Structures are given as C-alpha cells and as structure tokens.
Structure 1
Amino acid sequence: MKQRNHTDLLKTQARRFSPAIRVAAIYFLLSVLWILSTDRLLEHFIDDPHTITWLQTIKGWFFVTVSSFIIFYLVWVEIRKKDLIIKTINESQQWYNALASHLPNTTVFLVDEKLTFILLQGKESIKLGLVPEQALGKTLQDIPFDTTVRQIMIAYLEQAFSGEKITAEIQSRDNWFELRASPVPEISGKPRFVAGALINITQQKLNFRNLQEALRKAEESERLKTEFIENISHEIRTPMNAIFGFSELICDPEVLPEKKEKYYEYVRESGNHLIAMIDNLLHLSDIQKGVVHLHKSEFELDDMLDRLSEYYKLQFVRAGKKVEVRYQKPSGSNIVLFNEKSRLMQILSNLLNNAVKFTETGFIEFGYYPENRNSVLFFVQDSGIGIQPKEQETIFERFRKGKAVDDQLYRGTGLGLSIAKELVKMLEGEIWLLSKPYQGTCFMFRIPGTIVKNTWPGSDEKKPAHILIANLSEDKGPNISGYFRTKKIDVTEHSGNEKDLFMQLKNAPPPDMMFLYSNPDLHKIPAVLFRLRSEFHPFPVIIVADRHNEDFKRTIFASGATEYFLHPLTDHETDFLYRKYIYIRQGARFSDKE
C-alpha cells in the first residue's frame, strides 16, 4: 500500500471543494443567460410597463438573494477549506514534534533563505546556546551563542542552500554535535528552506575515545607482559647460571680457599637476588588477590631506618660503588610509631633498591618528618639518572622498567615501584615523585600512623635558620630568596668572587644551608667546595648548575657537594630542600607537651 504524507492529505481535503467551484461556475453562466433572456421574454409577452417593472424588481430581488446564498456558501467553503488545511498542518506538526521528541539527543530545525529559524524542536541545542523559545523567528546572526559554532553552522547551511546534503561534526566546549542538513525541494528548483538536525554525539565520542584508550592499554599491557616474561626469564637465568658456575668452582679441589670464600659470596648474592625477585612476584600476586593483611604494632621508627641505612651502606661497599648512603635523622628524634612495620620497611626497601639501581655516583638519602600527630612523610632521594617527564606518569605501573636519558634499559622486573604504590594505598597513604633527567629523583610518600612518642624539641627551642645564596657568576642566580623569607628564615645573598665569599663566611656564623651557583665557570665550584670542607664547619651545600655534565657531577660529589640541582629550581624542589634541611633539623611543629 502506498504511504501518504501530509501533502497528500492536503490534496485530498482540497478535492472535497471542487463541486462548489463547479456550482459557482454554472450559476454564473446561468445568471448571465437568465438576465439576457428574461428581459426579451417580458417585452415579448407582456405589454403593461408597470407589470414588466414589477417582474423585473422581483427578478432582481431573486437574483440578489440567490447570489447572496451562493456567495455565502462559497465564503463558508473557503473558510472551511482553510480550517481543514490549518488543522492538517497542526496535526502534521504534532506528529512531527511527537516524532522529534522520541529521537534521542536530537534537535530538528527548519530555516529559510535568511537562515531564520521557522522550526526548532528539541532541548539538545541548548548545549550549543540555541534555546528553542528564544531562537524561533530569529536569524543565526541575531542569536547570541558560541561565535565559532555560529560561523560553522552558517557556512554549512549556506552550502545546503546550494543543493548539497550536509553531514558535519561541530564541537562546542565539551560537547560534540553532528549537523545534518538538506534542502527542501521546490517546484521552481531553487530551495527556499533547509531542514536538518543537530544530534548530540558527545557520548559516542567519549565511548570511542574510551575504546581507543582501552585498546591502547590492552596492547600496552600485552607488550609489557611479553617483555616481562622475557625479562623474568633472563633475570632468573643469570643468577642461576652464577649459582651453578660458582658451585662447580667451589667443588674444584684446585681452587684456592680464599677464592672459594669469594665464590661463596657470589652464590649467596645470586640466591638473595632470586629470593627477592620471587618475593616481589608473590607480593604482587597477593596484592591482586586482596589477601595481604595488616598487623599494626608499636615500633621505634629510627631503629628501623638505622638498620636500613647500615644494610645499604654495606651493599655499596660490596659493589665497589662510590655512592654515599645518608639517613636524614631529625635532630633529637626518637619516634615510636603505631603502624604496619613490615609493610613500611618493604616500601622503603623497594624505593631504596630502585635508587641503588639507577645511581652510579653521588648519594642516596632517605628520611622522614612528622607532619602532625597522625601523619608522617617519608622520602627517598638519589642523585642518579633521573626520570624523563613522559615516563613519570606511568612509572608506578606494573612491568614498567626505567630507562636512562639515552634509552639504555636497566635490569629488573619492573615490579618494585608498583608494589610500593599498592602497599602505600593499603596503608591509606599517597606516593609521588620529583625528578629531572640527570639531576636525580626523590620519591615521597605520606602515611597515616599514630605517633605514640615524639621527643623532637618544641617550637620554643628552635633557633632562627640562616641560608646563604652565593652567586659566583655575572649571570642571574637562583631566584629563591623570596620563598625562604616567607618561612621567616634569614637569607643572605652574595654576588661576587670566591675571595669575598670566604671572607664573608669567616666573619659570620656558618649557615644552615648554602646554595652555590657559578655559570659558566663551573670549574670554580670543586675548588670552592674543597676549601669549604677543609676550612669551615660542615653544612649542606646545594650546587645549582645551568647545564648537565656527568664528569662535573661526579667531581663535585667527590669534592663534598651535598646535592646537585639543575637551574631553575622548581617550587616543589625548593620546598623539599626547606623541609629536609631546615624543618627536619630544627624539629617538629609539635611535641608531646603540646
């Protein structure tokens, strides 16, 4: 059966009035004939002029009456016709609106040649700034909304008036719309109207992006797992080969006893490496299964960290690396903490193992400070290769392995930092890092834990801190004095040569911390460091260099530099140095008396 639209319905209604048109035409013809014929008949059959006049009067009244009825009927027909047309149009519009209201995320519209909205149905256009109640009867140019969106819509709609069907995407802030428009055909051939729809496709866009991201992560996860399997095979094979090889040498009677002792040590180290790797795998599996349980107890925090410090100092001695291991113990501290000791020690061990792997020269330093009675902040800092910015966002993901700036890949399973992050989350804490390539990395994590005992000096025992910022070059040095002055710290800025600097140091008490900057004459710094260490009481010296040089870095640490940073220092780095060398050494913000 042929489907009928509203145009067909209008034609059907119009056909109902064709009899009235025929009646009017016949009446008109008959009236003309009757008027012409009656006058001659009257003159032919009636001689009395008064009778003829009376009959003509009756004829006129009859003609007027019938004509009035005919005219009334035709007017009524026209009114009825218009009413039916309006009714049909209203019904069609109601059908159209009902249909449009059931179209999800869609606004339909109709515009004329001047781009005036004749129809705008749907609420989605409000997200573009097109409010139906305010836009109807106005042109696109007169409606106040996003200028870029307006220009795009005008360009596409003008293109539609040329006879093209338009399908395009429009973005407005966080919303995406698909614009569909096509000309309404006219008999003349040139369209007078363009009908279309604005479809909100924001959710589809988000879903597509999420699918793309999920696909990317799945591919990345598959790649990382493949690399992990390859790495773990290599990591297991290497110590196993060492164990088997040195075990055979130990059993060889021709091997000297002192060499056997050395081989025993190699076998022990390889075995410990295997155990640590297997422990990491088991810990990760337990964390994923959710079977890791916490057993909190009271313990002396400084005692635990002292043991860690001694252990890692011994590791570097055995490895023959010239790396200084420093435990930043707060002055007069003796804190008893209520928390999960074994998990906290595992977190610090994983972070320290990571620092050991990526540090060939300089230092590894770790420590803590209480932020309040229920929160402690820990840090593990190294002067190693640093982490590239693009890797810092994913460094805590599983199977991620660190790379040097030259893309050298380091050994390991890529699980240590991931396990550390998961354990910090288990302890209801948070972990983050500060790092620059070549400069080093500092991991920090905060965990809640009740401080049972705290013997740091109270605020009334603190002495004002003093910082010296020495610039031995003509260039502008680090602009950090303002930060320290906001902390109510005395800041002395020196700008000049080394001779004046040493004269100033001899005539004043030693600073609590010193920033040393010399650009481009970096060769001056090792000599200055040597004199500082030999002639003055030790204090932290932070070297700030404008460029990286690995030989220079190795030399300044050998000469006694405390830390090495690249210019300019960030606010986070400055704040960290303040907390580490001023806040921690002067004591906590609270004591047991408070």
Structure 2
Amino acid sequence: MNWLDKYLYLKRSPGEQPSQDELLKLRFMAFLITGLCISVGLMIFKEIFRSDLASPVAETATVLMFAAALFFASRNNMQTATGMVFLIPALIYAYYLSGFSNSSPPSETIYASCIWLISGILVLAAFSPVSRLSIVFYLTGILTLSYHAHEAGLIPQYLSVNQMYAENPFLILTFVFVTAFLIRRSFDRRLQSEISGRQELELQFKTAFDEARHAMAYISVLRDDDGNITRLVIEKVNRAFESEFRIRLQETLDQEVNYLFSLIFGNDTDWNDLFILNPKQQTELYAVNRDKWYNLHLTWTGKHRCTCLFYDVTREKNMINDLTDARARYRALLEAIPDIFFVIDRDGVYRDVVFKGQEKLYPETREVIGSNIFKVGFSEKMAQKIYSCILKAIDRDTIETIEYTLETAKSPLFFEMRLVRLDMNSVISIARDITRRKKAEFELELAKNKAEDAAALKARFLANLSHDIRTPMNAIVGLTKLLSDPGLTENERDEFIRDVQIQSNTLLSMIENTILLSKIETNTLEVRNSFTQINKLLRELFSHFNEMVPSDGSVRLVMNCGIVNGETGFETDPTLLREILFRLIDNGLKFTRKGEVIFGYSPASGNCVEFFVEDTGSGIPESERDNIFLRFYVTETDKQTHKSGSGLGLPIAQHLAVLLGGELMLDTKPGKGSRFWFRIPLKSARGFMQVVQ
C-alpha cells in the first residue's frame, strides 16, 4: 500500500470509496510537495554554488507560495490553494524586473515570464474547474506580460504586422489559455455527466436494494495496511432480508458476517473461506434452522464492499430432487426392459439414450447424446426413413414401426423400432432385438419348405415305390405262371428262373432300402465294429455284380485293391461298409451304358483308408449336384430315361458313411462319368496296408 492509499484509508470510514475530489486533492498535494522540494533545492544550490544567479527574495517567495498552497490544500481549502497561482506575477517581478534581481535584461526574460504564466494556467486547468478565476488569471497574465514587454521596449515589435506570430508571448499565452480552457470545460462536462450518471445509478441501486424481493446485504470489508481482509461487517440489509430471516435491521448493523450468518443458517459453513480464501460468484447453502436451500451470489463493488444476494431455491431444489427420483425410477424401468430406448427430437438429434444388452454395438452414451441419426447409428438411407417416421409420429400422433438390420462382425442383428410422440418436438423410440424371432421365422420357413419338399418327395416316392414294387411282382407272377407250363425246354426254364431271381432281388432291395430308411429316421441303426477283410469283401461284391454285367461286353466291372494281401483289413462295421459300396456299384452299373465301373480302395493320409466307385456314365449336371444326396431326389435325366429308382440309394450311402466316421464325396463331369469316394478312420490295421502321411 503506497502513501496515497494509506492516506485515503485513514481519512475515510470503513467501506467508503475515495471520491474524485479526494483523489484530485492528493494529486495536487503531490504536485505542491514536488514543487516545494525543487524550489528549496534550487535556492540552496544557487546560494552555495551560483551566488551570481541567486535572487533570495524571489526564491523565498517561491518557497512560501508552494508552502502556503500545500497548507491550504491539506486543510481541504482547494480554492485558496489553487489561488496561490496569483502570486506568480509577483514572482515574475521579483525574478526578472525588480532592482534586486540578478537576472538577465527584461528583453531576454520575457519568455521565462510567459512560461511562469502558462504554468499557472495549466495548474488551474488541472486542479480546479472552469471558473472566473481562470479568466482573471489569464487577464492578469496579459497585464504582467504587457508590463514586462514595456520594460523591455518590445511593445512595438509585438504590435507590428510583420512580426513572427509564433514567437509572440501574448499569442502563445492566449493559445495555451484557450486550449486549456476548452479541454478543461470538456472534461468538466464529461465528469459532471459521469457523476450524475453514477448518482442516478446509485439511487437506482439503492431503490432496487431496498425493494428487492430477495434477501440482500451490504458488507463492509476492512483491510490492513497490506490490503489483507481483517473483518467482514454487515453494513446494511434490505426489508426482504429482515422478512426472510426474521431479524431486524438494528440487530444486523456492524455485526461480524461469520457470527450473524452462522446464527441465521445454523450450519458449519466457513464464511471466511467463502468470502476470503475461496470466493465464488455463486454458492449453494442449506439453512438448517429454516430447512431451506439458498443460492448465495457475491458481487464485489470494490475492494471495501460487496453485496450478498440470497435466492431461495428450495422449491427448485425439491423439484430437481423429485425429477431426479422420477428419472431414477424411469431409468430403472427402462433398465428392466430388454430394449434400447432413444429420445429423438424433430431435427433427428438424440436427447437421451439407454442401451440395454447391446452396449458393445453402439458408441458411448456421451458420444450419442447431442449427435443426430444421420451421423451415429444408422445408414443414410435408414436414417432418412427413420426421420420421415419421426415427423409422422409427431405431426399425426401415430405409432410408427420400422424394422432394420445392424451389421456386426459376427452376424447381422435384426431390430424392430417403434416411435411414439413424446411431446410436440420429440419422440421416444423403442428398439427391440428381434434377431432370435427373425431366425426362428427363417428357420421355420426353411423347415416348412423342407417339409413340403419332403412331403412331395415322399408322395412321389410312394407313387414310384408302388409302381416299382408292382413291376417286379408282376414279372414274378408272370414268370411263375410260365414255369408251370410243362412244354418249356430246359433252357427256357433256366432263363425264367434267373429272371425270377433278378426280379426278387430287385424287390428285396426296395424292401431293404425302406427298412434301412426307417431305421435311419428313427435313429435306431447301430454301428458294430469288427475286423473286416477288405479284399474278401470286395471280391464278394465283385462276384455278386459281375453276373449283372451285360454279356455283350459293352460294360466292364473292375475291382482295384490297394493291397493284394488277403489278410489286409481293419476294424469297422462290415455290414454298413458293404451297404455303401453295394449301392454305389449298383448305381454305377445302372447308369453306365458303355465303358467300365471301377471300385476299390487305397491308403490315404490322416490315418484313413479311401474307398471309391468310378463309372463312365453320363455324369451329373452341375445344377443338380447339390441335390443328389437329398432323399427321394431323382435327376431330370433319370426321369426322362425311365432309369430312376426310389431316390434313396445315395442318401442312405451318405448317412452310412457318416456313421462310419467319413463323408461321401462326388467328383463328376457331365458326359464323362462320376467318382464317388469316402474316407473312414483306419483302426487296428493288419497286413501290408500303409498309411500315407
């Protein structure tokens, strides 16, 4: 704190701000003290070092002028203090015109006189308002300069038309006076306007303070020499304060803030911390004695005064608590429902969101709220559709439903969104995960289609079966009648008997397929593993089917054993293995008109053995390749050539291969033939069968 602040602090009451007059007086006193010091210093300097230039009378008068002005200023008599400038003409006379002066001739000191007079004009302009005093001093200055010019014999020169006007001291003094006069007058007008405005503002503030609906208090702030707050004292409270806290004005005046507010609020609030250490513009307080909440607003109007406003927010606080509780119940309800909730406004902006069970599929909630549907959550096309439904739901007060798909890394998810108007500017959207339902519907539709296809195939199978059974039965009945004819030759009789056997085997094969299919569907077919000699099994199949090969040599049956050793074998179910190969060989012979049918086995990698049946038949078209293993399926070519069977051979073989641990595969080229093959695990192998790694 500098000496000026200390002086003002000691002179004014606590909480009072320094006025413009006080500040002006202090500046004037500072100027006078400076002038006094300079005058004393110059006088001593001249008396000691330049006695030839010394003018004791004039210098003493100068010191007395500054001292007198300082004296009157300290007594708050600013008019007399500034009036000391009227001693300047006397000082000019003493310095430059008197007989006891040691100065230069008057013609050389007229500009020094002008400077003294200009200094007086500037002092008056700086420290006193525009008045007659300034004009009188100016006229006095003109007279002083006139006398000085007369003594110097310069009057004709300054009245000459051909003079240098810029060097005319009368014109210089007049220019400075007019300029200072206008500047001071403008300053006084602005100052008066500012003072009037401030007074009006203070009046309005006082009126507003007294008539305010909320409790308010003026607080005076007392500070020490270093500017630190030492006390906070109640200066004034308004009527609302008295009414709100049931306390009279007289009981609050000059009371310590910490004591009075602690008494009113009845809590442990550290008021010194609130006002001094950590002041905040707004603080929420709870009055225990009144069971109310207040917002305390602090407004500092200077270093020595602040205004407190206590705004009762109990109702708002209770409403917020009620809304918080309602929101908690609302959110708990939403959390209990396994759906995703959005609140979206008319512009498509998310206002609230609750993710339930799908948090990993969406961004953070804070990233969603405030963004719009065109940037977060949906594709552009879907967002446009949702936005259209939002407008319909708001404008028509309808319930809009949309189904959309959300692509994820694993699989797409299906959602059903329902939008309901929440208010005139927003909707609440409920998005439910219907992926399981959609999958169930899809699977149900697929199962329905399969069931319908199976029913159609079974119907066709039964129709074909009845026809296929009737054909061998009719043949057997007819051949049996022919065999009863005693006129048959031995060759004819043998041929009829062979035909009866062939038709019987065909009928038996149909019955066996039907029985085997029944076991497969009822899951009663058992796998019974035992050591199986592969070469022996293949020779039996070769012997059985070799009799069915056409005698014209158009088709050959070839057996290809991977190992010749007769003891070659491994553990598997020989019956099921024979059934697979039987059906594949029978199928190959049935659809091969020319060429050969090759069957056999070979060691394979993965500790397996591969069985195969190749033919040079017509092959299977690419469009029917995926359906060839379906039950009751018959290719279009077979239907046209009337070679189709029941459509069970390959499906049964496929199922049996799976039971043995393998899978029936197909390699085919239309017009060149087909190759069916499967691999089954090699267990407890014997002989020379080698496993290819």
Query: Shared fold by TM > 0.5?
Result: yes
1:557 maps to what in 2? none
Give the stretch that moved more between structures: 399-408 or 423-432. 399-408
Q: Which amino acid aligns with 1:323?
A: V
**2:168 is the counterpart of 1:65:** no
- Whole-Å separation in 1 of the counterparts to 2:417 and 2:526: 56
1:503 maps to what in 2? none
**2:403 is the counterpart of 1:169:** yes
- Whole-Å separation in 1 of the counterparts to 2:669 and 2:570: 33
Q: Per-residue displacement from partner, 1:558-586 (whole Å, max 9, x unpaired)?
A: xxxxxxxxxxxxxxxxxxxxxxxxxxxxx
1:243 maps to what in 2? 476
1:95 maps to what in 2? 329
2:41 maps to what in 1? none
**2:508 is the counterpart of 1:275:** yes
1:111 maps to what in 2? 344
- 1:396/1:417 contact within 8 Å kept: yes
Cα separation, partners in 2 of 1:289 and 1:112, compared to 1, 3 Å:
closer
Identify the match of residue 327 of structure 1 among 547, 550, 559.
Answer: 559
- Whole-Å separation in 2 of the counterparts to 1:118 and 1:144: 14
Identify the match of residue 417 of structure 2 among 179, 188, 211.
Answer: 179
**Where in structure 2 are the equivalents of 1:142-541 lying within 5 Å?**
142-143=375-376, 150=383, 152-154=385-387, 156-157=389-390, 160=393, 163=396, 165-173=399-407, 174-186=412-424, 192-317=425-550, 322-330=554-562, 335-372=568-605, 374-404=607-637, 410-450=643-683, 452-455=685-688
Which of the pair has the greater relative contact order for Cα pairs under 8 Å at 6+ separation? Answer: 1
- 1:298/1:339 contact within 8 Å kept: yes
Q: Per-residue displacement from partner, 1:444-485 (whole Å, max 9, x unpaired)?
A: 1111133633436x8xxxxxxxxxxxxxxxxxxxxxxxxxxx
Shift of residue 234, structure 1, vs aligned partner: 1.3
- Whole-Å separation in 1 of the counterparts to 2:243 and 2:640: 102
- 1:388/1:436 contact within 8 Å kept: yes
- Whole-Å separation in 1 of the counterparts to 2:380 and 2:361: 10
Cα separation, partners in 2 of 1:408 and 1:165, compared to 1, 3 Å:
farther
- Whole-Å separation in 2 of the counterparts to 1:368 and 1:359: 21
Q: Secondary structure at the match of 1:384?
A: coil
1:480 maps to what in 2? none
1:589 maps to what in 2? 692
Cα separation, partners in 2 of 1:134 and 1:394, compared to 1, 3 Å:
same
1:135 maps to what in 2? 368
Structure 2 gaps, min length 5: 1-207, 212-234, 247-291, 295-309
- Whole-Å separation in 1 of the counterparts to 2:530 and 2:561: 22
- Whole-Å separation in 2 of the counterparts to 1:449 and 1:68: 104
Cα separation, partners in 2 of 1:134 and 1:185, compared to 1, 3 Å:
closer
Q: Secondary structure at the match of 2:671?
A: coil
1:522 maps to what in 2? none
Cα separation, partners in 2 of 1:133 and 1:363, compared to 1, 3 Å:
farther
- Whole-Å separation in 2 of the counterparts to 1:411 and 1:66: 106
Identify the match of residue 315 of structure 2 among 68, 71, 81.
Answer: 81
2:286 maps to what in 1? none
Q: TM-score of the superposition, structure 2-length normalised?
A: 0.51
Give the stretch that moved more between structures: 161-170 or 338-347. 161-170
1:551 maps to what in 2? none
- Whole-Å separation in 2 of the counterparts to 1:63 and 1:336: 113
Q: Which amino acid aligns with 1:88?
A: D
Q: Secondary structure at the match of 2:402?
A: strand
- 1:110/1:194 contact within 8 Å kept: yes
- Whole-Å separation in 2 of the counterparts to 1:204 and 1:131: 27
- Whole-Å separation in 2 of the counterparts to 1:184 and 1:290: 57
- 1:432/1:444 contact within 8 Å kept: yes
Shift of residue 204, structure 1, vs aligned partner: 0.9
Q: Secondary structure at the match of 2:518?
A: helix
Cα separation, partners in 2 of 1:63 and 1:275, compared to 1, 3 Å:
closer
Q: Which amino acid aligns with 2:353?
A: L
- Whole-Å separation in 2 of the counterparts to 1:376 and 1:382: 20
Q: Per-residue displacement from partner, 1:419-441 (whole Å, max 9, x unpaired)?
A: 22232222222222223443432
- Whole-Å separation in 2 of the counterparts to 1:379 and 1:148: 54
Q: TM-score of the superposition, structure 1-length normalised?
A: 0.59
Please, what is the CA RMSD of the aligned residues? 3.5
Cα separation, partners in 2 of 1:327 and 1:169, compared to 1, 3 Å:
same
Give the stretch that moved more between structures: 71-80 or 122-131. 71-80
Q: Which has the larger radius of gyration?
A: 2
Shift of residue 266, structure 1, vs aligned partner: 1.2
* Identical counterparts, % of pairs: 27
Count of aligned pairs = 395
Q: Secondary structure at the match of 2:432?
A: strand
- 1:388/1:405 contact within 8 Å kept: no
- Whole-Å separation in 2 of the counterparts to 1:77 and 1:203: 56
